[in-house]
Each structure stands twice: as structure tokens, then as C-alpha cells.
């Protein structure tokens, strides 16, 4: 039977100011670190979509269709590990209807549904176990209401009884990738955007990554500096590339060399080829060609990047679009992740909102840490 959790911090009546985060300056350097996504998970966190105006007025899809896509992703992950779904109380009945009985629903007031960005980034410590970072979430530079989502990470961590680390850095989980071996990759078009961190420079951001995430080297890609994609994130890294292992990256690619996006792909690829990781390694690259045939040309934005996959226990949850390119992407992912089952999940309606599987999921590492 499906569980609805309603302990205090997850209650709709909860005081959103309850609980605090330790500021990053109080965190000792080189002790906490963010594990790679492929380490074993205790759970995957998601947030159920409920904001009809955002989806139907903003992206031109029906909320009901988007909810089906979210449920597909959640049910696919639940085959491999626990899924904890934050649900606004107004949408609890619909979530119960579509989510399988082994998905835990947690009632909590929220604005939107992108847990990768508004949820916590979990970190680990050799003696103190698991905690989390609550980034200063401002809805990708104030693009939508976020009075509830700005405290979501803190509320989740308080509910779990975990330490919460705050920071002045405006950031989202989808803006960073780590390899668990000291390397972080991000994009200039997001973190250096005046709508995120005016007045803050790279060195200051890198110090925060070192202190909170155990990062020894930050690699900066251009991202989408001219914002040609119309992506509301301004060019998140999880649409550009993803680690397969330390020293190896899956990179977004396009066969449409005449498109405006092709130059974005080339510039990011060039920056990756020039970079080395925290251990001085050049990157082994494997291309994932975009789902160009799935793109709705009438849509304001469409996430066609197969790099927006999610690594869960024993599997890769892959965005799929019902086109021939899905199988090519699946074959590439099988090559990159031997021993993991590749599970394609069709997400065309979610893609109309500018996101993919990775955008709506957030991993909580298992403790003690393994792998």
C-alpha cells in the first residue's frame, strides 16, 4: 500500500522558516564531498508537477500529460531503488493514482517540480555520514515564482534529520556534474549570468565548491552564452555532457550542422577537449546525438538531449521520444555503463517544458558509501 508521509517538516502546515542551514564558511575544507551519481543510492527524490499555469500557459502542454511522464520516470526508477516523491497537497490524489504503490509520497507545499535544481545536493563525510547543500535557489534567475521552492532543500534535509549547509551561491543541481574524484564541470552561461550571481567571480565560486563538495578542480564550459536554445536554465551542464566514470564523458552532439545550436555544441566540445580533470587526465569522449527528429518546431523549447539521463542502482534511466534515435542512444549508454540495464522512458511532454529525466531527479547516496 502506498505511503503518505506527513511528519512535521513535510506537512503543508509546516512553517517554512523552520530549521536552519550552517553557512558554507563554517564548513571545514576537504572533509565533505559530493559523490558521483553512480555510487549506490538510498533513494531518488522527485517533486510531482501540479502547477497548471506553468505547464499549460508557459509550455503549451497539458498538466495531465506531463504528470504521466513524471509517473513513468518514477515507476521506472522504483524497480531499482526507493523513490520519495514530494507532492503539493493539492495534487496528492492524482499522484496516488499514477505512482506505483512502492513510491513514497511526501506532502509538502511547492511551486514547481524540478527536484534536481530546487532539491538538496547530498554530500558525504567519512565520519559524519550524509548531509546536504541548500543552494540559493532563485528559479533560474527569477523566471518563475519560487517562494516555496527556495526552502525546499532545507525542508527535505531537516525532515531527514541531516545537516544542512547554506551558501550565498545561486546555483542549481542541474548546473553541476561531479565525478566523485575531485572534478566538477559547470557552464559560464549559468553561474556567471548576472541573473544568478552578480559580483561573484569564478575564484569565489570555486572556493565554495571546494569547501562544500570537496572539489579540487572546476572545469568551465561556455554553455549557451547567446541563449540560442531558449532554455530557461540558460545552459545547464546536464544538457551538455555527463560523466560515465572519472576521465570519461558522454557529450551532447548534433548531426544538424547548419543549426544555431551546432555552434554551441562545437564550442562546448572544444572546451572539453582542451581540459584536464583534477588528476590531470584528458577526457575520453563518447557522443550522444540529440533526438532531433523528436523536436516540436512549434514549441518554445524542447529538451532533446540524451545526456539528460539518470544513473540509479543498477540502471540508466534514459529519456526516450519514440523515434529511431532512441535505440542508438541506448546502445551508446550500454557501452558506457556495462553491467547496468538501460531503461528508455518516453518523456515528450516533459521535454516541452525544457527538461529531461535528470532534471526531475535527485540522488540521495546510501551510507556507508560504497563504489
Task: Name the residues annotated as catalytic.
Answer: 359
339: which DSSP letter? T
Neighbours of 264 (CB within 10 A): 24
Asked if the peptide bond before residue 368 counts as cis, ω within 30 degrees of 0, the response is yes
276: which DSSP letter? B
* Helix/strand/coil for 31: coil
Burial class (CB in 10 A: 0-12, 13-18, 19+), 58: middle
**Residue 104 β-bridge partners:** 84
8 A C-beta contact, residue 113 and residue 145: no
Cell of 323: 523515434
Distance in angstroms (rounded) separating the CA atoms of residues 251 and 60: 29
Distance in angstroms (rounded) separating the CA atoms of residues 121 and 213: 9
Residue corresponding to grid cell 550571481: 197
Q: 71 to each of 74, 292, 300, 348, 350, how far by Cα in Å?
A: 5, 24, 24, 13, 11
Distance in angstroms (rounded) separating the CA atoms of residues 9 and 328: 44
159: which DSSP letter? H
Which residues touch 33 (CB under 8 Å, ≥6 apart)? Answer: 123, 124, 125, 180, 213, 214
Amino acid at each position: 500500500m502506498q505511503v503518505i508521509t506527513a511528519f512535521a517538516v513535510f506537512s503543508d502546515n509546516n512553517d517554512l522558516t523552520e530549521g536552519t542551514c550552517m553557512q558554507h564558511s563554517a564548513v571545514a575544507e576537504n572533509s565533505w564531498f559530493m559523490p558521483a551519481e553512480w555510487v549506490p543510492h538510498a533513494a531518488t527524490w522527485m517533486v510531482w508537477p501540479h502547477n497548471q499555469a506553468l505547464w499549460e500557459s508557459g509550455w503549451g502542454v497539458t498538466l495531465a500529460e506531463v504528470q504521466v511522464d513524471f509517473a513513468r520516470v518514477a515507476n521506472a526508477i522504483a524497480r531499482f531503488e526507493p523513490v520519495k516523491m514530494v507532492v503539493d497537497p493539492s495534487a496528492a490524489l492524482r499522484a496516488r493514482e499514477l505512482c506505483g504503490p512502492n513510491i513514497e509520497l511526501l506532502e509538502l507545499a511547492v511551486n514547481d517540480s524540478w527536484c534536481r535544481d530546487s532539491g538538496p545536493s547530498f554530500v558525504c563525510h567519512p565520519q559524519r555520514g550524509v548531509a546536504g547543500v541548500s543552494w540559493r535557489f532563485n528559479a533560474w534567475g527569477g523566471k518563475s515564482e519560487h517562494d516555496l521552492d527556495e526552502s525546499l532543500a532545507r525542508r527535505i534535509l531537516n525532515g531527514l534529520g541531516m545537516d544542512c549547509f547554506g551558501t550565498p551561491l545561486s546555483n542549481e543541481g542541474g548546473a553541476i556534474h561531479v565525478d566523485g574524484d575531485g572534478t566538477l564541470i559547470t557552464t559560464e552561461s549559468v553561474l556567471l549570468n548576472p541573473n544568478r550571481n552578480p559580483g561573484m567571480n569564478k575564484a569565489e565560486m570555486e572556493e565554495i565548491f571546494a569547501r562544500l563538495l570537496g572539489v579540487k578542480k572546476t572545469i568551465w564550459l561556455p554553455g549557451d552564452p547567446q541563449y540560442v536554445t531558449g532554455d530557461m536554465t540558460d545552459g545547464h551542464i546536464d544538457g551538455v555532457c555527463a560523466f560515465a566514470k572519472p576521465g570519461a564523458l558522454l557529450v551532447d552532439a548534433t548531426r544538424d550542422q547548419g543549426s544555431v545550436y551546432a555552434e554551441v555544441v562545437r564550442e562546448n566540445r572544444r572546451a572539453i577537449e582542451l581540459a584536464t580533470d583534477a588528476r590531470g587526465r584528458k577526457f575520453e569522449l563518447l557522443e550522444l546525438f540529440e533526438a532531433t527528429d523528436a523536436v516540436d518546431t512549434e514549441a518554445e523549447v524542447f529538451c532533446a538531449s540524451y545526456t539528460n539521463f539518470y544513473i540509479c542502482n543498477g540502471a540508466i534511466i534514459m529519456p526516450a521520444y519514440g523515434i529511431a534515435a532512441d535505440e542508438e542512444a541506448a546502445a551508446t549508454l550500454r557501452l558506457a555503463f556495462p553491467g547496468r540495464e538501460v531503461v528508455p522512458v518516453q518523456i515528450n511532454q516533459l521535454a516541452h517544458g525544457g527538461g529531461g529525466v535528470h532534471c526531475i531527479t535527485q540522488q540521495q547516496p546510501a551510507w556507508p558509501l560504497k563504489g
